[in-house]
Structure 1
Amino acid sequence: MVAFGKKLKETQIQEWQGYYINYKLMKKKVRQYARQIEVGDQNHHYVLKDFSSVLDKQIEKVVLFFLEQQGILARRLFNLGGQHDVLLQHVDGSGISELQEAYREVGRDLLRLLFYVEMNAIGLRKILKKFDKRCGYRFTNYYVKTRANHPYSQLRQVFKHVGIGAVVGAISRNLADLQDHQGSYVSIYDQPTLPVPDPIIDSIKAAVDRLTNSTNFLQYLGKHALIMKEELPTPSEDHDVDERYHFMSLLLNLVNTFLYMVNTYIIVPTADNYSLSLGAAATLCGAVIGSMAVAQVFSSVYFSAWSNKSYLRPLVFSSVVLFVGNTLYALAYDLNSIYVLLIGRLFCGLGSARAVNRRYISDCVPLKMRMQASAGFVSASALGIACGPAVACVLQTKFKIFNITFNEDTLPGWVMALAWLVYLLWLWISFREPPREVEKNITSQNGKTGLIENGVIENRITQPLLLSLGEKQQDEDGDEECDVNEEASEEIHKPVTSVVAAYRLLTPSVKVQLFVYFMLKYAMEILLAESSVITTYYFIWSVSNVAIFLACLGLTVLPVNIIIGSYISNMFEERQVLLASEIMVCLGIILSFHLVIPYSVPQYVCSALVTFVSAEVLEGVNLSLLSRVMSSRLSRGTYNGGLLSTEAGTLARVVADGTVTLAGYWGMSKLLNVTLLPSLIICISSIVATCFTYNSLY
């Protein structure tokens, strides 16, 4: 992979080169500040003031050029509008195609302008991160806090655009008018979706959504997968992915995700009864449920590493191990051994191939389909969470075959063993191993402006951050060598190869977001793992009642994400939704405590619903922010962002399930409060940590 600055130079727009932020100048400034701070030549106040002034001037240059270009586009649209009115008076409709092409040409120029702004925004984020890293100051927090909320903020113009909507609306409306010139004219106000959407409009809408963080349900749901992509994909790279894509293989990956989540939660309603039948305490259900997560902590790493070489072999291994694990889980009843039960669940955890499922989508699904595939991954997980308890609900029977017992405790194991066996056969027959990616040094000849073919940008953006001719001459003083070394060490998007290297890339913002992810998974696991024990003790619920309750909780996932993805996330900033969701999780935990009044079903159900739904909302915005603040070097390789989030979530489940088991020593009457107290402390800590890094989530 090439460095950020070099990759941008390959597709430069020569006539705009003087209007991009001067990335090289700001990097040079950061190096100077770092050296001065190291030797004690400059104080904190001077550095903040000087670099703020440099950034302000660079942002002002970008914003003024952006507004100037908007005016030019508006004038062109105004002139085309006059031609449009004259043209509509001709009955024969002559000149329609020429006018449509003229509007599309304006759309292409608008795309160039949007990508110009997008690359400057990326450059700003990168230089702010670089300053924090090199100088040891929380400069991003200070700069965003003082600039973003000011009434004359130019920084907001770079990230939140005023006026673009009017230009897009003018192009859309006029193309709609011209689409059916022989009959009644459609209006975007009466019929927002054109019969045949123009590719240019789709491309502009996608570009605006990226810049303003506007989302729809599919995009929002896909963010839950934390399948990170590089900021500057190239057409050749996407072509390589097209060659590796195979629909049936993708479907098998999603089925694997679904079955694994079913496997995880199908035992939750009966784990306490199963433990009691084997002579253990009911609260040992925490260890039974959590043993799968313990093994997953390790399996996620070796499956992620294995997927560097193959996708089929780890999926086959996963299916075999899960078949064995579920068989052992089911046989533990007749063997009367709690140890066999735990070993069976450990085997199930060792078969967790979610890292492979993520990697396949990231590496083998074309960019144009990756969001849908990511949403499918999340939907499969959500359906698995709901279907697991629902399946357990219908397995309320008891019989024997050849002295092997089939009842509500063992049937979940037998059903899942059969499911994995069928899946293994389907996998072996239908999965196609994609050709391995060959590393190439792709050099572009003759830098060109972004071309649009069939509504798709061939080269995503033009060259921002260019050097002026005078600055290029300064490279001879040895600064170029330093810059090359810095690019090689910090900005080349080379996958990290160790846990230590991955940890070094974790900024305070990333660490806080991983902690928030840990918190929400901990709170959810406490709720789910102890649900059977708590409801049996307080309300004498049957297995069927517990299963229906858990299934209903799982079914809230998709409707809640529809509301958040389609509406809430477009009305508020993600960091605002993040903080509000954390507070709601905290409120749900507080409502769950059993204090003075008798514990009632409405109190338990309402508090569980608030906690679970708020955690689901939190997960989406948390992973979306995490993907934005996390280094792009964590988009590929074994130690990728998806693996880190999986490890954080899995560790949370392990700790939560262990908490349920340990809390059993204080007795059933104290179990609820003892398990909720750590959740409350962790949740409050995450809220405080979020407040400290709030302004860096920009």
Structure 2
Amino acid sequence: MVAFGKKLKERQIQEWQRYYINYKLMKKKVKQYGQQIEVGAQDRRHVLKDFSRMLDNQIEKIVLFLLEQQGLLASRLARLGEQHDALQEQPDISQLTELREAYRAVGHDLLKLLFFVEINAIGLRKILKKFDKRFGYRFTNYYVKTRANHPYSQLQQVFKHVGLGAVVGAISRNLHELQDRQGSYLSIYDQPVLPLEDPVVDSIKAAVDRLTHSTNFLNFLAQHALIMQEELPTPVEEHVDDQRYHFMSLLLNLANTFLYMVNTYIIVPTADDYALSLGAAATVCGVVIGAMAVAQVFSSVYFSAWSNKSYFRPLVFSSIVLFIGNTLYALAYDLESIAVLLIGRLFCGFGSARAVNRRYISDCVPLKIRMQASAGFVSASALGMACGPALAALLQTNFKIYKLTFNQDTLPGWVMAVAWFIYLIWLWISFKEPSRDIEENDRPHESNAGCIGIVFSTAASWIFDLVKMWPKSSLMALYIGEASFDYRQPVENNELEKGLKQPLLITSEDNQQDEDGDAECDGSEEGPEESHGPANSIKAAYRLLTPSVKVQLLIYFMLKYVMEVLLSESSVVTTYYFNWSTSTVAIFLACLGLTVLPVNIVVGSYISNMFEDRQILLASEIMVLVGIIFSFNVIIPYSVPQYVCSGLILFVFAEVLEGVNLALLSRVMSSRLSRGTYNGGLLSTEAGTIARVIADATITLAGYLGESSLLNITLIPSLLICISSIMATFVTYNSLY
């Protein structure tokens, strides 16, 4: 791995080097400030003033060069425009071809300029983060607020490339006209627009989208997977190792994602009825539904660790455990045992391989189709979420075969057991394990997945040993091989901010390296490998969480908590207030699930291009709060329209919130959390899963006070958490850029 400062320098265009932000100089300056404050040679006010002046000078240098280059591009375009006008009167095929190539040449130069702006924007964000981390100040909040909102803002030139849009438009429009000579009146400004097949324009559009965080449906949907791309851009398309990619293996991962989400939500409409049939209270459905999430808290860690060594083995193990879990869930009815029911759901949670599915896309899918694969991962989850309750609505029957009962309570278990058995056969026949011959520098050795990973990987290996001792005629005797892990003692990582307000100077030895791996102790651009490798323990990952990241994880926790309360108690609440049947509840939940993709189309294609992500984030949080308040049962009798409308508001805006939340999380998160076992995807999954566990536990505990109080009691924590997340968003609002 290469330190961020060195990577930044390598990506710079050589002839423009002196116009880039001097990241190395500013990093050394931050170190000097620290030493001066330690000996009392400088005070806080002078440091802030001096650093602000340095930043202003650096930004002004960038912006003035940017304006100069914009002028040169504009002059070239003006000359080409004159040639274009002349050719309109006397068309010449050869001259038209030359003109098209001339416009493409301007496009290539514009692309270089866009990369110049993007790299400077990334460097500026990094140095602001470094300053805040080093001294514990809320300097970024102050600096962005004062500079970005000023009428003469130079900061907006860097972050929003004000003015370059006109150059992009001129190149795109003229190339479009030169391509289409069929007499059509449509232009790039019309909808629908004629297709423009030009790689230069496509590259420019992608660069502009990255710089402005403009997006489309596919990008917005892919962000939900939190599969982070390369942080620093490169003008040259990187070589991608396609040998590791296998379409059927990707399809199997997406199928695993879909089936697991079906498995999660197929029992929601009938969980309360199943609990009653076994002699428990209806609100025990919270524990039944939440048992899967409890186990998933642990399975996410050991599956993430296992995926460092293999993708095939954990998927096989997942399928076997899910087959067993669903069989136990179905058998609990005839065994008349609530314990067997809960054990079955725990097994289902232990089989959650979503970490493997996400890692496969991140590690094995080529960059050119990774966005589509990420969107497929999210779409498979959304489709599974809708299909689960819909399938439960179809399983309304009651019959017996020998001593086994098949009814609306047990059929979800039997159906999923058969589905996982078929999936296991398909997996064994079709999955191709990717090669692991990767350079050590390209993929750091993963170490120490924590005690949880040790326990569960050992259990997994033990199960495989048992499998290998089965008779050869049995499907279970298929040779799987042992899962091996290499665990070491965790390497201590740098300590992050101790707080926001107090100006504390961080001086411990652990802080000799920053989160990007830049050595501060000697001014070198390259530190020890472990200092900028992936986090290798939960403790190390936690130390990389800045206040902005913590706030985004809190928001993710909140939205998952709210959604889980809404979905898990839906059967109990609607039965108590409206006497809904299982089929009616299932249809309502399926309709909620079906809103996921349409909502993402609207937000990804339109809303996200009209407003900043942080604006959408705050507005969505407020709408979720409105939905929670509207859901309370006070004074007037509770009605179906109130319940349906409040549920729709909660679910839809929680979905909108999830997309922008994960998009912001990927931007404010340390690059060290984009890879390895304890990556950002795992942390967000854990935050969401813990939220589901707490929500389901709240439902069960609230049930002891009676079903009449269930709705209001479970909404109170949702209200408090939502208000807290809105307040936290206001505190970190100016750092979400």
- Give the alignment's TM-score, normalised by structure 2: 0.87
Q: Alignment partner for residue 578 of structure 2, among 539, 560, 576?
A: 539
Quote the Cα distance in structure 1 between the aligned partners of 2:174 and 2:233. Answer: 32
| 1:313 and 2:313 aligned | yes
| 1:635 and 2:678 aligned | no
- Would the aligned equivalents of 1:295 and 1:349 in 2 still touch at CA under 8 Å? yes
Task: Return the offset for 1:88.
Answer: 3.3
Matches of residues 262-273 of structure 1 in structure 2 within 5 Å? Answer: 262-273=262-273
Could you tell me which residue of structure 2 aligns to residue 452 of structure 1? none
Deviations 1:283-311 (A, max 9, x none): 00000000000000000000000000100
Could you tell me which residue of structure 1 aligns to residue 548 of structure 2? 509
Task: Return the offset for 1:84.
Answer: 1.6
- Would the aligned equivalents of 1:129 and 1:140 in 2 still touch at CA under 8 Å? yes
Could you tell me which residue of structure 1 aligns to residue 50 of structure 2? 50
| 1:432 and 2:432 aligned | yes
Could you tell me which residue of structure 2 aligns to residue 498 of structure 1? 537
Could you tell me which residue of structure 1 aligns to residue 650 of structure 2? 611
- Would the aligned equivalents of 1:3 and 1:492 in 2 still touch at CA under 8 Å? no
Stretch of structure 1 that moved more, 492-501 or 480-489: 480-489
The verdict on how the C-alpha distance between 1:437 and 1:513 changes in structure 2, with shifts beyond 3 A counting, is: farther
- 5+ long unaligned stretches in structure 2: 443-517
The verdict on how the C-alpha distance between 1:236 and 1:148 changes in structure 2, with shifts beyond 3 A counting, is: closer
Residue type at the aligned position of 1:688: M
Could you tell me which residue of structure 2 aligns to residue 550 of structure 1? 589
Deviations 1:605-661 (A, max 9, x none): 111111111111110111000000000111111000000000000000000000000
Quote the Cα distance in structure 2 between the aligned partners of 1:317 and 1:28. Answer: 50
| 1:524 and 2:559 aligned | no
| 1:282 and 2:321 aligned | no
Q: Give the 3-state SS of the residue equivalent to 1:405 in structure 2.
A: strand
Task: Return the offset for 1:248.
Answer: 0.9
The verdict on how the C-alpha distance between 1:294 and 1:176 changes in structure 2, with shifts beyond 3 A counting, is: same
Q: Give the 3-state SS of the residue equivalent to 1:400 in structure 2.
A: strand
Deviations 1:119-177 (A, max 9, x none): 00000010011001111111111111111111111111111122222211211222122
Could you tell me which residue of structure 2 aligns to residue 693 of structure 1? 732
The verdict on how the C-alpha distance between 1:180 and 1:141 changes in structure 2, with shifts beyond 3 A counting, is: closer
Could you tell me which residue of structure 2 aligns to residue 455 of structure 1? none
- Would the aligned equivalents of 2:327 and 2:413 in 1 still touch at CA under 8 Å? yes
Q: Alignment partner for residue 620 of structure 2, among 581, 601, 605?
A: 581
The verdict on how the C-alpha distance between 1:103 and 1:48 changes in structure 2, with shifts beyond 3 A counting, is: same
Quote the Cα distance in structure 1 between the aligned partners of 2:244 and 2:33. Answer: 46
- Would the aligned equivalents of 2:630 and 2:642 in 1 still touch at CA under 8 Å? yes
Quote the Cα distance in structure 1 between the aligned partners of 2:439 and 2:692. Answer: 38
Q: Alignment partner for residue 595 of structure 1, among 631, 634, 642?
A: 634
Stretch of structure 1 that moved more, 641-650 or 32-41: 32-41
Q: Give the 3-state SS of the residue equivalent to 2:622 in structure 1.
A: helix
Residue type at the aligned position of 2:271: A
Residue type at the aligned position of 1:298: F
Task: Return the offset for 1:233.
Answer: 6.7
Quote the Cα distance in structure 2 between the aligned partners of 1:606 and 1:39. Answer: 62
- Would the aligned equivalents of 1:33 and 1:135 in 2 still touch at CA under 8 Å? no
- Would the aligned equivalents of 1:238 and 1:366 in 2 still touch at CA under 8 Å? no
Task: Return the offset for 1:668.
Answer: 1.0
Residue type at the aligned position of 1:426: W
Matches of residues 107-126 of structure 1 in structure 2 within 5 Å? Answer: 107-126=107-126
- Would the aligned equivalents of 2:112 and 2:235 in 1 still touch at CA under 8 Å? no
- Would the aligned equivalents of 2:5 and 2:525 in 1 still touch at CA under 8 Å? no
| 1:227 and 2:266 aligned | no
Deviations 1:413-448 (A, max 9, x none): 000001111111111111111111512558xxxxxx
Quote the Cα distance in structure 2 between the aligned partners of 1:688 and 1:481. Answer: 34
| 1:646 and 2:685 aligned | yes
Quote the Cα distance in structure 2 between the aligned partners of 1:258 and 1:336. Answer: 30
Q: Give the 3-state SS of the residue equivalent to 1:488 in structure 2.
A: coil
Q: Give the 3-state SS of the residue equivalent to 2:704 in structure 1.
A: helix
Q: Work out the number of aligned pairs and report it.
A: 662
Task: Return the offset for 1:388.
Answer: 0.4
Q: Give the 3-state SS of the residue equivalent to 1:496 in structure 2.
A: coil
Task: Return the offset for 1:197.
Answer: 1.2
Residue type at the aligned position of 1:648: A
- Would the aligned equivalents of 1:579 and 1:687 in 2 still touch at CA under 8 Å? yes
Stretch of structure 1 that moved more, 259-268 or 155-164: 155-164
Quote the Cα distance in structure 1 between the aligned partners of 2:91 and 2:698. Answer: 78
- Would the aligned equivalents of 1:630 and 1:641 in 2 still touch at CA under 8 Å? yes
Residue type at the aligned position of 1:687: I
Deviations 1:294-351 (A, max 9, x none): 0000000000000001001100110110000000000000000000000000000000
| 1:568 and 2:635 aligned | no
Matches of residues 86-235 of structure 1 in structure 2 within 5 Å? Answer: 86-181=86-181, 187-190=187-190, 193-232=193-232
- Would the aligned equivalents of 1:52 and 1:143 in 2 still touch at CA under 8 Å? yes
Could you tell me which residue of structure 1 aligns to residue 17 of structure 2? 17
Quote the Cα distance in structure 2 between the aligned partners of 1:323 and 1:499. Answer: 30
Could you tell me which residue of structure 1 aligns to residue 479 of structure 2? none
Stretch of structure 1 that moved more, 47-56 or 87-96: 87-96
Task: Return the offset for 1:46.
Answer: 1.5
Could you tell me which residue of structure 1 aligns to residue 721 of structure 2? 682
The verdict on how the C-alpha distance between 1:234 and 1:252 changes in structure 2, with shifts beyond 3 A counting, is: farther
Quote the Cα distance in structure 2 between the aligned partners of 1:236 and 1:64. Answer: 26
- Would the aligned equivalents of 1:328 and 1:340 in 2 still touch at CA under 8 Å? yes
- 5+ long unaligned stretches in structure 1: 443-478
Stretch of structure 1 that moved more, 34-43 or 75-84: 34-43
| 1:670 and 2:709 aligned | yes
The verdict on how the C-alpha distance between 1:273 and 1:546 changes in structure 2, with shifts beyond 3 A counting, is: same
Residue type at the aligned position of 1:672: L
Larger RCO (alpha carbons 8 Å, 6+ apart) = 1
Could you tell me which residue of structure 1 aligns to residue 397 of structure 2? 397
Q: Give the 3-state SS of the residue equivalent to 1:693 in structure 2.
A: helix
Quote the Cα distance in structure 2 between the aligned partners of 1:238 and 1:399. Answer: 59
Quote the Cα distance in structure 2 between the aligned partners of 1:207 and 1:157. Answer: 15
Q: Give the 3-state SS of the residue equivalent to 2:93 in structure 1.
A: coil
The verdict on how the C-alpha distance between 1:543 and 1:634 changes in structure 2, with shifts beyond 3 A counting, is: same
Quote the Cα distance in structure 2 between the aligned partners of 1:352 and 1:485. Answer: 43
Task: Return the offset for 1:387.
Answer: 0.6
The verdict on how the C-alpha distance between 1:165 and 1:398 changes in structure 2, with shifts beyond 3 A counting, is: same
The verdict on how the C-alpha distance between 1:501 and 1:487 changes in structure 2, with shifts beyond 3 A counting, is: farther
Residue type at the aligned position of 1:255: A
The verdict on how the C-alpha distance between 1:109 and 1:657 changes in structure 2, with shifts beyond 3 A counting, is: same
- Would the aligned equivalents of 1:177 and 1:185 in 2 still touch at CA under 8 Å? no
Could you tell me which residue of structure 1 aligns to residue 463 of structure 2? none
Stretch of structure 1 that moved more, 75-84 or 170-179: 170-179
The verdict on how the C-alpha distance between 1:531 and 1:192 changes in structure 2, with shifts beyond 3 A counting, is: closer
Could you tell me which residue of structure 1 aligns to residue 374 of structure 2? 374
Stretch of structure 1 that moved more, 372-381 or 285-294: 372-381
Quote the Cα distance in structure 1 between the aligned partners of 2:555 and 2:64. Answer: 38
Q: Give the 3-state SS of the residue equivalent to 2:527 in structure 1.
A: helix
The verdict on how the C-alpha distance between 1:480 and 1:261 changes in structure 2, with shifts beyond 3 A counting, is: closer
Task: Return the offset for 1:241.
Answer: 3.7
Root-mean-square deviation (Å)? 1.9
Could you tell me which residue of structure 1 aligns to residue 450 of structure 2? none
Residue type at the aligned position of 2:335: L
The verdict on how the C-alpha distance between 1:370 and 1:657 changes in structure 2, with shifts beyond 3 A counting, is: same
Task: Return the offset for 1:595.
Answer: 1.3
Task: Return the offset for 1:232.
Answer: 2.9
Quote the Cα distance in structure 2 between the aligned partners of 1:561 and 1:195. Answer: 24
- Identity, % of aligned positions: 79
- Would the aligned equivalents of 1:87 and 1:93 in 2 still touch at CA under 8 Å? no
Could you tell me which residue of structure 1 aligns to residue 458 of structure 2? none
Quote the Cα distance in structure 1 between the aligned partners of 2:6 and 2:289. Answer: 50
